[in-house]
Amino acid sequence: HYFSYWSKCKIPFKEPTFLFGELWDMFASKKSQGQYFASLYERFKNKKIIGLYFSYRPVLLVCDPDLIQEVLIRDFTSFHDRGFGFDEQIDPLTSNVFGLAGQRWRDLRVKLSPTFTSGKLKIMYPTIYSCAQVLQDYIGKELKSGNDIFDTHDLLGRFTTNVISSVAFGIENDCLNDRENIFRKMGMKIFDTNFAQVARNFLTTFLPKLMIFLKIKNVSQEIEDFIMSIVRQSIELRETEQVERKDFMQLMIQLKNQGFVSVDKDEDINEERSKSSDKTKLTFNEIAGNTFIFFAAGFETSSSTSNLCLFELSRHPEIQKKVQDEIDQAMRNANSSEITYDMLQELKYLDMCINETLRKYPVITVILRNCTKDHKFSGTEFTVKKGTNLFIPIQGLHRDPKIYENPMAFNPERFKDSSTGLGKSKGAFYIPFGDGPRICIGARMGKLQTKLGLAMILSKFTFELVDQNLIHNEFEVDPKMFVMKPRESIKMKAIPR
């Protein structure tokens, strides 16, 4: 009876397996989430929407860029939530902008948006720059001591952990030289692929009601205790000793004490300022929850993107050389030995390489939405029912040969005069950061740390792949990670320039 839903709706669907629907295949499968949804996208070529069953629950895969635009932007009011199985009573760190729904999400998003403007990032730039300097110095030091081979995913993960812990918690860390650093350890635990964490993430995303019914926490107690105690200490230190820093924590303390973010001297007041007059103050749990999500969402996404960009540059020495020439030229033009914030904006070719990396390797491979009121899709007779979960296969779209010619080729030129990489389609199809009002709030920050990290290391070193097989072959993706990452770490050789 349950499994007849999609045929009654006259929607093409994938035949389910009894009891678990799609889920057993997916949980036991050797495919990553990205590959799983991308393979459905390919199998149902030319179908706008595809019906699936997660257990007995009907869910939708939306593949048509026009309908994706309808869901993410045009009719956002019918799809403003993600439909996760979070319960903030038992999981206090989930009261954050990523997990919250409805009006609570909207109010929080309006309050937090001013903390991510380019004006605020420019103010934080010296802090981010000093982390990039540590990265550059670390590679130089290792080369001097005879070690020229690096696991670049780990290397760049340690760099972005330094950045995020510095700007989100206000704590200066050096995970590069301190190999046992607690922030690095906790960061790794958030993305742990042990059975318990994979099962928790799986239930949160695919069986949210069961997760809530069973009162299972998504964030482990160890991580919760760590984040709560660090945030408490940070706030106490600043409030008792009147310490001020230019970082997210300071802005969140403003939101706790006054309910809005103050405008800094040099900031453009019109830039993405909230027009809200809501002065409701953030609670301690909201500060802790958002600090947690900035940490979790902020380091692995950017380090994976940087690593995969470096991987492609190592496979294509001529592209790497062009990036290095551009950096050298910008430094000569500014007559500076440092890479300044303004100089970074001039590195257009590096920007094109990062955009192409995010096309070929969208590190978040799927977007989730929950239908919040019945919605008839335009151009169809089909009405999505309130409560239905929708999945948008970013990887499938970004690698569709009908949209991108020769999609597995790494070709930064696609982005020369096009923000969507010359994709041949209408609607929303280049969406590495999502789109619409719920687009990634940290996109600018993610791009900034990716670009700065790469510019700093490429200005001093050239990278070569150790495993020559990878020059012409694609790597295998880690099936347990929900952020796209190679199963085996990629080793690269750094050569001083």
Contact positions vs ligand HEM (CB under 6 A):
97-98, 109, 293-294, 297-298, 301-302, 305, 363-364, 367, 432-435, 438-442, 445-446, 450
Place of tokens 């239930």: 203
462 vs 485, beta carbon nearer ligand HEM: 485
Beta carbon of residue 365, minimum distance to ligand HEM (angstroms, whole number): 9
**Are the CB atoms for 350 and 454 separated by under 8 Å?**
yes
Beta carbon of residue 80, minimum distance to ligand HEM (angstroms, whole number): 9
CA atoms within 13 A on the CB side of 396: 29
Beta carbon of residue 356, minimum distance to ligand HEM (angstroms, whole number): 13
Q: Is 309 annotated as a binding residue?
A: no
294 vs 461, beta carbon nearer ligand HEM: 294
Closest C-alpha to 105, from 437, 391, 432: 437
14 vs 245, beta carbon nearer ligand HEM: 245
117 vs 462, beta carbon nearer ligand HEM: 117
**Are the CB atoms for 291 and 249 separated by under 8 Å?**
yes
* Residue of closest CB approach to ligand HEM: 434
Beta carbon of residue 232, minimum distance to ligand HEM (angstroms, whole number): 21
Three-state DSSP at 331 gives: helix
Beta carbon of residue 436, minimum distance to ligand HEM (angstroms, whole number): 6
In the structure encoding, which two tokens stand for residue 100, read together? 């919250």
47 vs 106, beta carbon nearer ligand HEM: 106
Give residues with Cβ within 8 angstroms of 381, minimum separation 6.
10
Beta carbon of residue 295, minimum distance to ligand HEM (angstroms, whole number): 8
54 vs 105, beta carbon nearer ligand HEM: 105
Give residues with Cβ within 8 angstroms of 149, minimum separation 6.
466, 491, 492, 493
Would you give the DSSP letter of residue 283? Answer: P
Structural element, H or E, at residue 397: helix 394-398
Closest C-alpha to 349, from 497, 455, 433: 455
In the structure encoding, which two tokens stand for residue 207, read together? 């069986």
Distance of CA 287 to CAs 224, 291, 477, Å?
13, 6, 34
Residue stretches of the annotated binding site: 440
